[in-house]
């Protein structure tokens, strides 16, 4: 009989607690030799979780079973195959379809008998229960560690630190920490995120591919010795701070203030914030190109600009061409419809005032006074651009043109030079 030996470990902890691949292989080999089985192959899934059957060596085993290279499968314990009842049953059905028996060494399960198959389902149920219990305990342990001040990092350590997984703590990376301190210093001195990126990129060429990476550094609370989890702030116990709290909160105040600051409308690009990439969904941004000594305005996908053509291959669009096309489309709008829509704007306001009066929320004299004013007042130009303005939109200053376009257009989608306008009406 040709026997396949399937062995698996998911974590280093299992490997050190008696579930190592070598330990499983030794026991299964001894059993196969005792039973005078011919070992057709050994299938080793190292570092693979039992939560999924998407494992390289398990897939290879199933291919060999389909090719009738295996008569029986030997496993050390049922949970080496899977901890999910449904997965175990599905795998057993595949085995039975190809007349392959399954034998679990520690549980003494033999599927050749009805009792063995019943015992299999019971064992698989307890394996799944064990897995869910482990997950629940892990969650509770994680929550307890966080509440005691231990910052938990499941992936790469934050910039400025190096993770020590043995002690579950973080050590300072001196070069990166120096960059963090300098970024906060430069930001508080008035440098923009673009300027911060230039400085950080010069020190770390493989990092800081966009100004937003510097913004993330400025916002990270960990640098002042605290961290946020589920909306609550905790004092960090397993990592040292890189800056003072005064420095961190001064930077946050400046960040909030700059976020509220009114943006000067002096950009030469008419469609900023309106063009989106039809391939990756990013916004298009304005970029000045210099060719043969000539300056050309263009719009380019933000992802392509900062991450390269390999990440988004959508075309660069000349600003003059797309702006001319959009203005031409705006001038073709049915002005009569627009103006009729304007005529009803004040009527809607009057109806709302009447509702407030009937509900007793405003006095009669207030209602009559406001209705009188609304009947006399023209519709504000900023709410509904008039037909005259639309016909002559190209003669307006760019800031006014931009305001009108923002009212009319929801977004402009560009896909390999094809332009599609999504209107607000």
> What CA–CA distance (Å, rounded) separates 15 from 6?
16
For this structure, is 10 an active site residue?
A: yes
Task: Tell me how crowded residue 139 is: count the other CB atoms within 10 A of its CB.
Answer: 10
> What CA–CA distance (Å, rounded) separates 74 from 102?
6
> What CA–CA distance (Å, rounded) separates 220 from 218?
6
**Whole-Å CA distances, 161 to 174, 222, 343, 407:** 8, 10, 63, 47
Q: Yes or no: say if 220 and 233 are a contact pair by the CB < 8 Å rule.
A: no
Find the largest Cα–Cα distance for the chain.
104
> What CA–CA distance (Å, rounded) separates 71 from 37?
10
End-to-end Cα distance, the chain: 75
> For residues 295-314, b (16+ Cβ closer than 10 Å) or e, as one string?
eeebbbbbbbbbeeeeebeb
> What CA–CA distance (Å, rounded) separates 146 from 238?
10
> What CA–CA distance (Å, rounded) separates 270 from 398?
7
Cα 60 to its chain centre, rounded Å, is 33
Task: Tell me how crowded residue 78 is: count the other CB atoms within 10 A of its CB.
Answer: 22
> What CA–CA distance (Å, rounded) separates 234 from 267?
42
Alpha helices in 101-192 (DSSP H): 114-147, 174-188
> What CA–CA distance (Å, rounded) separates 94 from 78?
16
Per DSSP, what are the bridge partners of residue 260?
none
**Catalytic positions, written as ranges:** 10
């Amino acid at each position: 009989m040709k026997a396949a030996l399937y062995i698996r470990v998911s974590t280093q902890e299992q490997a050190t607690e008696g579930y190592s691949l070598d330990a499983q292989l030794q026991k299964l080999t001894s059993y196969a030799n005792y039973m005078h089985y011919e070992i057709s192959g050994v299938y080793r899934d190292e570092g693979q979780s039992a939560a999924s059957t998407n494992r390289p060596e398990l897939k290879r085993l199933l291919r060999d079973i389909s090719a009738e290279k295996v008569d029986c499968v030997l496993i050390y314990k049922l949970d080496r195959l899977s901890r999910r009842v449904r997965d175990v049953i599905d795998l057993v059905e595949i085995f039975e379809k190809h007349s392959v028996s399954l034998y679990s060494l520690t549980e003494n399960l033999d599927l050749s008998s009805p009792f063995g198959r019943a015992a299999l389902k019971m064992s698989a149920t307890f394996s799944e229960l064990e897995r869910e219990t482990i997950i629940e305990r892990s969650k509770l342990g994680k929550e307890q560690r966080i509440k005691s001040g231990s910052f938990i990092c499941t992936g790469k350590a934050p910039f400025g630190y190096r993770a020590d997984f043995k002690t579950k703590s973080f050590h300072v990376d001196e070069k990166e920490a120096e960059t963090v301190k300098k970024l906060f210093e430069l930001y508080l001195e008035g440098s923009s995120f673009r300027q911060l990126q230039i400085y950080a990129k010069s020190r770390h060429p493989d990092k800081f591919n966009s100004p937003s990476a510097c913004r993330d550094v400025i916002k990270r609370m960990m640098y002042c010795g605290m961290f946020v989890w589920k909306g609550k702030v905790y004092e960090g116990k397993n990592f040292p701070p890189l800056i003072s709290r005064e420095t961190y909160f001064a930077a946050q105040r400046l960040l909030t203030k700059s976020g509220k600051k009114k943006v000067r409308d002096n950009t030469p690009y008419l469609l900023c914030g309106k063009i989106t990439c039809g391939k990756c969904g990013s916004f298009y941004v304005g970029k000045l190109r210099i060719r043969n000594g000539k300056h050309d305005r263009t719009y380019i996908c933000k992802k392509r600009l900062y991450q390269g053509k390999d990440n988004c291959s959508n075309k660069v669009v000349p600003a003059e061409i797309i702006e001319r096309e959009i203005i031409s489309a705006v001038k073709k709008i049915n002005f009569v419809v627009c103006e009729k829509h304007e005529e009803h704007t004040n009527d809607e306001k009057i109806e709302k005032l009447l509702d407030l009066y009937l509900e007793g929320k405003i006095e009669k004299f207030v209602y009559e006074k406001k209705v009188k004013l609304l009947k006399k007042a023209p519709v504000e130009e900023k709410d509904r651009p008039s037909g005259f303005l639309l016909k002559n939109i190209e003669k307006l200053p760019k800031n006014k043109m931009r305001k009108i376009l923002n009212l009319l257009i929801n977004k402009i989608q560009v896909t390999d030079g094809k332009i599609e306008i999504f209107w607000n009406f």
